[in-house]
Amino acid sequence: MTTSADQRNTDIATFVESNPGYYQKQFDYIGSRPGFSWTFNLIAALLGPIWYGMRGLWNWGLPFVILETMAVIQLGRGLFGDLGAEARQRIVDIQGTLEFRNAQLEAAIEKQSDKIEVFERTIASLETAIADIAQEAAIADASATGVALLGLGMLIAVKIIEGIVANPALEKRFSIWLSDRSIISGLTTQRNIITILFVLIVFVVSTVHFAFPGLLQWLSTFPTDPQIRLSAITGIENAFSFVKSNGRYLFDSVSQGIRIVLDFLEIVFVGSPWPVVACFIILLTWLSAGLGAAIAAGCFLTYMGLFGFWEKAMTTLALLGTAAMLSICIGIPLGLFCARRPKVYAVIRPIMDFMQTMPSFVFMIPVIAFFSVGKPAAVITTMIFGGTPVVRLTVLGMRGVPESVREAAIAFGASRWYILTKVDLPLAAPSILAGVNQTIMLSLAMVVVASLIGAKGLGEDVLEALQYSSVGQGILAGFAILFCAMILNRVVQGTRD
């Protein structure tokens, strides 16, 4: 009859494959003691990151690769490197300047110029610099033994740590493997070859590069042909020209639609009398977030009016409102559609990742190419940057609705529309509102960047302050943007039921 101890030993032998007797004793010792168990694996210490990679313990192997590489580099620099080479190269450069100054001095002496003393002081300064750098080179050369010993000490210390950590790390992996047999176990030829090649390439290439600088130039400069880049630039420009010429009506239609919404909001915020707009904003804040937030909103609006930012603040709100409104109108339905269709969301998610990770100044380039500069281009840029959170959080909220609640509604004969409006949306509302809030805040963060392509508003003042180093103007306009963000945040987030 097979006992639990026999079964455990069999599992250990299956997991480690090589030297099972040793690991059975070590795992039993580690499992019988609370806390960290002090053991030492000599093979792991000698092979270092190679052992960890072969065992699939890359969470330890990669840091050890870095540490051992640093130690090997220091050891190679101390034994074979020329530590004073950089200083001597600086001396050569200065000597070229010194020869030029000596020639200038000789010419000045011949002409009895009044700059003789200037040239003499410059030459003396250069000679002093050469002497100081030569001393630095001598000190660097003399430190070679110390650098080598430092590298050797680091290598020994890392090896000791690798030997101490090996058995507990492998035993922990074994405990996880017992419940999940898909975890990497044993030794495979493919993994061993990949690990050895990876570690050796890192060690050898790094050591050669740092210990023998300039020996292999291709290690410092990626081997390429400039024509590749030029051809790619030409191809991209031709592609953009083709799309722009053939999609002109589409781009004009999109610009016109954005312009309609933007003109309407500018009439509401900019064209309306300021008392009407102020009362509307304060009332909306009070209904959403309470009396305290309404008083704060009134103070913020007063600040904008007193410092002459009213019209620009309202222009900013109109631009932001257009971008946020379009993002929300597109994002929430798209999130609802993707929430129940994982395959569709798997296609949409990389696109949103691209939109969020691409720097704003980069995706402004194609927007300008298709829509030219102006407010429609600024709205589209803002939508690209801030439109993804509402989609992500809508999907997250819809997927967070308990299936038991939906099944209960279905059991009572509820239609799809009833389930969506009375079950899914109310339960997912906090997440959706968080997405709306994040979209508005990220859109507001694009105010200054969008001013580069003609967005106007408060971002224009900040941009001018940056261009002309006007600290006061930049601070005042920055606070105006901050207050706009705080008002919008309280209106959207709210605290009242």
Give me the domain span that covers residue 183. 4-81+146-219
Q: Is 229 inside any structural domain?
A: no
User: Is 90 exceeded by the pLDDT of residue 159?
Assistant: yes
Total of domains in the chain:
3
Domain boundary among 162, 186, 219: 219
Q: Is 367 inside any structural domain?
A: yes
SS (H, E, C) the chain: CCCHHHHHHHHHHHHHCCCHHHHHHHHHHHHCCCCCCCCCCHHHHHHCHHHHHHCCCHHHHHHHHHHHHHHHHHHHHHHCCCCCHHHHHHHHHHHHHHHHHHHHHHHHHHHCCCCHHHHHHHHHHHHHHHHHHHHHHHHHHHCHHHHHHHHHHHHHHHHHHHHHHHHHHHHHHHHHHHHCCCCCCCCCHHHHHHHHHHHHHHHHHHHHHHHCCCCCHHHCCCCCCHHHHHHHHHHHHHHHHHHHHHCHHHHHHHHHHHHHHHHHHHHHHHHCCHHHHHHHHHHHHHHHHCHHHHHHHHHHHHHHHHCCCHHHHHHHHHHHHHHHHHHHHHHHHHHHHHHCCHHHHHHHHHHHHHHHHCCHHHHHHHHHHHHCCCHHHHHHHHHHHHCHHHHHHHHHHHHCCCHHHHHHHHHCCCCHHHHHHHHHHHHHHHHHHHHHHHHHHHHHHCHHHHHHHCCCCHHHHHHHHHHHCCHHHHHHHHHHHHHHHHHHHHHHHCCCC
Confidence at residue 496, expressed as pLDDT on a 0 to 100 scale: 45
Regarding whether 368 and 456 lie in a shared domain, the answer is: yes
Regarding whether 362 and 299 lie in a shared domain, the answer is: yes
Q: Is 238 inside any structural domain?
A: no
On average, the pLDDT of the chain sits at: 83
Regarding whether 188 and 114 lie in a shared domain, the answer is: no
pTM of the model: 0.66
Confidence at residue 2, expressed as pLDDT on a 0 to 100 scale: 52
Confidence at residue 447, expressed as pLDDT on a 0 to 100 scale: 72
Regarding whether 134 and 151 lie in a shared domain, the answer is: no
Q: Is 317 inside any structural domain?
A: yes
Region 153-177 average pLDDT: 91
CATH of residue 354's domain is 1.10.3720.10
User: Is 60 exceeded by the pLDDT of residue 335?
Assistant: yes
Taking only the tens place, the pLDDT of each residue in 397-451 is: 888 888 888 888 888 887 888 888 888 888 888 888 888 888 888 887 777 777 7
Percentage of residues of the chain with pLDDT beyond 70: 97
Q: Is 412 inside any structural domain?
A: yes
Regarding whether 166 and 95 lie in a shared domain, the answer is: no
Confidence at residue 72, expressed as pLDDT on a 0 to 100 scale: 87
Regarding whether 455 and 423 lie in a shared domain, the answer is: yes
Regarding whether 174 and 125 lie in a shared domain, the answer is: no
User: Is 50 exceeded by the pLDDT of residue 268?
Assistant: yes
Domain boundary among 219, 236, 253: 219
